[in-house]
């Protein structure tokens, strides 16, 4: 019986250690997920992907895409340095928005995104115009 208990404890510790080593994502993954949720106008997801200080802007981002047809084309994001506590993320690609038969394109490379780990997860925390 004691052998089974020891085995169970070792198994539990091993599983816990493996889960701690699981892929936590990256700053660039968080920004890509945020941008995808933005064009989908998914407020709940945007807020979840935002750090506390960015949540109100996330709600505005969702509202701004509610009545338009939008898609992201050729998006690719990468970490590009640090600014204080923030990891800077730059992206390539564009957001194409259609509203009332008019199409506009917004280059993702025109913005640097700020990401930060909060509660153990990477979150969107701001934008800087390039």
Q: Read off the CATH number of the domain in which 45 is found.
A: 3.10.450.50
What pLDDT is stored for residue 48 in this prediction?
97
Both tokens assigned to 34: 């945020």
Residue 115 lies in a domain: yes
The answer to whether residue 98 scores a pLDDT higher than 70 is yes
**pLDDT interval class at 40 (50, 70, 90):** very high
Rounded to an integer, the average pLDDT of 40-62 is: 97
Can you tell me the distance from the alpha carbon of 14 to that of 30, in angstroms, rounded to the nearest whole number?
28
Structural domain including 89 reads: 27-129
The answer to whether residue 78 scores a pLDDT higher than 80 is yes
Are 9 and 2 in contact, with CB atoms under 8 Å apart?
no
- The per-residue pLDDT of the chain, averaged, comes to 86
Residue 108 lies in a domain: yes
Question: How many CB atoms neighbour CB 71 within 10 A?
Answer: 12
Rounded to the nearest 10°, the torsion over CA 13, 14, 20, 25 is -160
pTM of the entire predicted model: 0.80
DSSP 24: -
Residue 41 lies in a domain: yes
What pLDDT is stored for residue 84 in this prediction?
94
Tally of structural domains, the chain: 1
For residue 70, give the nearest of 107, 91, 41, 31 by alpha carbon.
Answer: 41
Residue 32 lies in a domain: yes
Residue 53 lies in a domain: yes
Residue 124 lies in a domain: yes
Residue 112 lies in a domain: yes
List Cβ neighbours of 23 (8 Å cut-off, separation of 6 or more). none
Residue 8 lies in a domain: no
């Amino acid at each position: 019986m004691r052998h089974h208990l020891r085995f169970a404890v070792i198994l539990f510790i091993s599983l816990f250690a493996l889960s701690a080593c699981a892929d936590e994502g990256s700053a660039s993954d968080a920004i890509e997920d945020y941008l995808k949720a933005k064009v989908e106008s998914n407020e709940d997801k945007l807020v979840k992907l935002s750090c506390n200080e960015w949540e109100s802007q996330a709600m505005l981002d969702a509202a701004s895409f509610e009545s338009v047809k939008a898609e992201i084309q050729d998006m690719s994001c990468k970490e590009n340095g640090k600014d204080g506590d923030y990891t800077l993320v730059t992206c390539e690609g564009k957001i194409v928005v259609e509203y009332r038969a008019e199409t506009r394109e917004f280059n993702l490379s025109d913005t640097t995104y700020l990401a930060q780990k909060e509660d153990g997860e990477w979150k969107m925390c701001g934008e800087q115009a390039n």
